[in-house]
Chains A and B, each alone.
Chain A
Amino acid sequence: MSILKDLPELIKAEVISQETADKIQHYYEDQKGNSSNKLFIAFGVLGTILVGLGIILIMAHNWDELSRTTKTIFSFVPLIIGQILCGYVLLQKQNNIAWRESTSAFLFFAVGASIALIGQVYNIPGNVSSFLLTWMLLCLPLIYLMNSSFTSLLYIAGITYYIVVTGYFYPMSEPYFYWILLLLVLPYYYHLLTKKPNSNFTSFHNWLIPLSVLIALGAINNNIDELMFIAYCSLFGVLYLIGHTKYFNEQKLRSNGYLVMGSLGTVGLLLSLSFDWFWEDLRRQKLTFDEVLISPEFIGAMVLTLLALVLLGVHLKNKRVKALKPIAPVFILFIITFIIGNYSSIAVVLINLFVFIIGVMTIREGANKDHLGILNYGLLIITALVACRFFDTELSFVIRGILFVLVGIGFFATNYWMLKTKKQ
């Protein structure tokens, strides 16, 4: 670090005091320590995953030559080793992140391996969902006791797998249990957000949690598929607005999974509904009001929409209406369009219009902020819309060709213009 070399000179010239120089030195030393520590954590955790999964695979071989007693004893060995290691870390190395994370992750896998092996020895019938549930519940306390972010990530992945197994494939057993399981890990997530906002682990959580919720929402689908579009649109709205709260706005884009998923999700959803087939289906299918009112899809959509409205209220409180991002109110417009779509074919036109407006406003925002990324995102939205229409309109090839050429020229022109203004 060149500044460290300059410190004596700066002190001599009385630019900074000795105290300040010490502080600067401390700061850079801390930073250095952090980066090598990060590497330790990454390798420790990676190693543990490999060893843990390896143990599960070796056990899955199902050694015939071993007696039932031997196999039973073996199934406890990794579990006890994991517990001893975690106990040791709690007593001696509580402040060492690399130790804490890797021992907890090992214990996490050991618990799963142990239950799985006993299931195998006693030919316990295959119910993956109850197996996962037991496993996750037994490991949930580790997140808090060991203060382990990686275990928390594993836990979230595990409960997501659980909801997929229970909600998507089996006859609807208890998909609602997932939401309780998720709720149980949120205090830890809050701890991460407040105490370690810049940690990579927090960043991973910012992606994994919205992703998990996205996947889990699909499990509430019962038989009114159309309502799921409202539920998803509102969920994307919720994610987008969370991504735009003050806290997440200060984060880098790569740590803000909410914003990226909310934005891409909304645009993707609108694009997929910009085709006529969905709306034709909707008009043909006459949903009765009573049927809709008691469906889980409706309740899910209601809850998410209310949540999105609250977030929108908070969002507007701090800003003028003019500064409102184009994607933020889409979920409200979509519900209105959906209701219109039950009676009239104009809905599909409206959806196309929304995508177009979002695209144009994004380009404008990019231009105003001098931000090439945002500008090109807007252009991509328009391009995607044009590409979608390419497939289903009856326009002649010549007109479609000209449209494509125009959009392409638009790309060049706007980028060129922006680069030029930037240089000036």
Chain B
Amino acid sequence: MMNKKILLPLFVLIAMAQLYVPAKMILDREDVLATGIEYKFRTAPVDPYDPFRGKYITLSFVDNNINVENRKDWKSGEPVYVLLENDKEGYAQFKSVSKIKPNEKDYLKTTVSYVNSKNTMRVDCPFNRFYMEESKALEAEKTYRASRRDTTQIAYAVVSIKNGEAVLKDVMINGRPIREIVKEKQQSE
């Protein structure tokens, strides 16, 4: 089809691109983890499955409603910037929402989920997946659900945020990583 002299350099170029894309994904996340600000978000789980990437638990925000003036200004799926602040207990809360990139440091880039008739906005959780080892995912899901029912236990996600980009570090229940709790449970059974 093509001359070898052209073919080989082209192939090397494509190979570089194939290496660059995953490498870039890694470096971007590592940067956020290393230099981003850490937040704790109270979250809730949904059902897990992904054909390519295996088992995970799905997270969504709890009680993080944002009041807006007019619901007609916002569309579902529209990208937005959410300004963050910490509450008394140290959990992240949404202060306000904006369509323009804010000047402050404490913000998160995400999309609008919906705005209800009372002008309360819910936003999508951009760190909605926490991958678990196959054998532990189901147990993790159960543990997580139980913790949500039991009001004395608090489940939250530890997230690093830099320039609006979030990377999920860990999911904790009462200050302990969910992986450890599941491992302990599986060993005691």
Instruction: Give chain A's interface residues, CB within 8 Å of chain B.
Output: 56, 59-64, 72, 75-76, 79-80, 83, 86-87, 90-91, 94, 107, 111-112, 114-126, 128, 131, 134, 138, 141-142, 144-147, 171, 173, 191
Selected contact of B10 from candidates A83, A123, A145, CB within 8 Å: A145
In angstroms, Cα B11 to Cα A147, docked, is 12
Complex Cα–Cα for A134 and B8 (A): 23
Kindly state the separation between the CA atoms of A208 and B179 in the bound complex, as whole angstroms.
44
Q: A76 CB to closest chain B CB, in angstroms? A: 7
The answer to whether the Cβ of B155 comes within 8 Å of any Cβ in the partner chain is: no
Report yes or no: A62 in contact with B19, Cβ–Cβ below 8 A.
no
Residue of A nearest to B50 (CB): A126
Known: A60-B54, A72-B26. Contact between A123 and B21, CB under 8 A?
A: no
Partner of A120 from B127, B131, B136 at Cβ < 8 Å:
B131
Chain A residues near B128 (CB, 8 Å)? 125-126
Cβ 8 A contact of A64, one of B56, B76, B136, B167: B136
Say yes or no: A125 contacts B18, CB within 8 Å: no
Q: Is there an interface contact between A62 and B133, defined as CB atoms closer than 8 Å?
A: yes
Given contacts A61-B133, A87-B15, A122-B26, 8 further A-B contacts (CB under 8 A): A56-B52, A61-B54, A62-B131, A64-B179, A94-B4, A107-B18, A124-B25, A145-B14
How many residue pairs link A and B with beta carbons under 8 A? The number is 117
Q: B133 touching A63 by the CB < 8 A rule?
A: yes
**Which of A117, A138, A173 meets B18, CB within 8 Å?**
A138
Do A120 and B53 touch (CB < 8 A)? yes
Residue with the greatest number of chain B CB neighbours at <10 A, chosen from A80, A126, A171:
A126
Task: Return B133 CB to nearest CB of chain A, in Å.
Answer: 4
Interface assignment of B150: CB less than 8 Å from any CB of chain A: no
CB distance from A301 to the nearest CB of B (A): 27
Find out whether the CB atom of B25 lies under 8 angstroms from the CB atom of A118. Answer: yes
Docked CA distance A79–B18 (Å): 8
**What B residues does A115 contact at CB under 8 A?**
21-22, 25
Interface size on B, residues (CB 8 A): 41
Given A60-B53, A116-B52, does the pair A138, B129 have CB atoms closer than 8 Å? no
For residue B173, CB closer than 8 A to chain A, the reply is no
Given A61-B133, A120-B131, A122-B29, verify A86-B11 contact (CB < 8 Å): yes
B172 contacts partner chain A, Cβ-Cβ < 8 Å? no
How far apart are B15's CB and chain A's nearest CB, in angstroms?
Answer: 5
Query: Which A residues are in CB contact (< 8 Å) with B94?
Result: none
**Assembly CA distance A72 to B24 (angstroms):** 12
Residues of A within 8 A of B29 (CB): 122, 124
Across the interface, do B168 and A123 meet the contact criterion of CB distance under 8 Å? yes
Determine if A90 and B131 form an interchain contact, defined as CB atoms under 8 angstroms apart.
Answer: no
Q: Which residues of A contact B136 (CB under 8 A)?
A: 64
Chain B residues, CB < 8 A from A117: 53
> Closest chain B residue to A131 by CB distance?
B52
Contact of B127 among A72, A87, A123, A145 (CB under 8 A): A123
CB within 8 Å for A123 and B14 given contacts A62-B54, A90-B4? no
Quick one: which of B8, B53, B125 contacts A91, CB cutoff 8 A?
Answer: B8
Asked if B74 is an interface residue, CB under 8 A from chain A, the answer is no
| Chain A residues, CB < 8 A from B132 | 62, 64
Question: Nearest Cβ in chain B — how far from A53, in angstroms?
Answer: 10
Contact A123 B8 (CB under 8 A): no
Give A56's nearest chain B residue, CB to CB: B52
Contacts of B7 in A (CB 8 A): 90, 145
Chain B residues within an 8 Å CB radius of A116: 52-53
Interface residues of B in 119-160 (CB under 8 A from A): 125-134, 136
* Contact flag A111-B131 (CB < 8 Å), given A119-B53, A122-B29, A131-B52: no
Q: Contact between A123 and B18 (Cβ–Cβ < 8 Å)?
A: no
CB of A141 within 8 A of CB of B19, answer no
* Nearest neighbor of A83 in chain B, beta-carbon distance: B15
* Chain A min CB distance to B49 (Å): 10
Q: Which of A79, A119, A147, A171 has the most CB of B within 10 A?
A: A119
**Whole-angstrom distance between the alpha carbons of A131 and B133 in the complex?**
21
Residues of A with C-beta under 8 A to B100: none
Contact residue among A62, A75, A90, A125 (Cβ-Cβ distance under 8 Å from B134):
A62
B55: interface (CB < 8 Å)? yes
Inter-subunit contact A145/B11 (CB<8 Å): yes
Contact A83 B18 (CB under 8 A): yes
Please name all residues of chain A whose beta carbon is closer than 8 Å to the beta carbon of B15 when the two chains form the complex.
83, 86-87
Q: For A120, what are the chain B residues with a Cβ–Cβ distance below 8 Å?
A: 53-54, 56, 131
**A61 lies within 8 A of B134 (CB):** yes
Q: Which residues of B contact A122 (CB under 8 A)?
A: 25-26, 29, 167-168
Tell me the smallest distance from the CB of A228 to a CB of chain B, in Å. 23
| 6 closest Cβ pairs, A-B complex | A60-B54, A123-B168, A64-B133, A122-B29, A116-B52, A141-B14
A-B residue pairs in contact (CB < 8 Å), sample of 21: A60-B50, A60-B53, A61-B54, A61-B134, A62-B55, A63-B133, A64-B132, A64-B133, A64-B136, A75-B22, A79-B18, A83-B15, A90-B4, A115-B21, A126-B53, A145-B2, A145-B7, A145-B14, A146-B11, A147-B1, A171-B76
In the bound complex, residues from chain A placing their C-beta under 8 Å from that of B55 are 60, 62
CA separation between A116 and B56, bound complex, in Å?
13
Q: Is B37 in contact with chain A by the CB < 8 A criterion?
A: no
State the CA gap A174–B52 with chains docked (Å): 22
Of B8, B25, B55, B136, chain A has the most CB atoms within 10 Å of the CB of B25
In angstroms, Cα B12 to Cα A173, docked, is 33
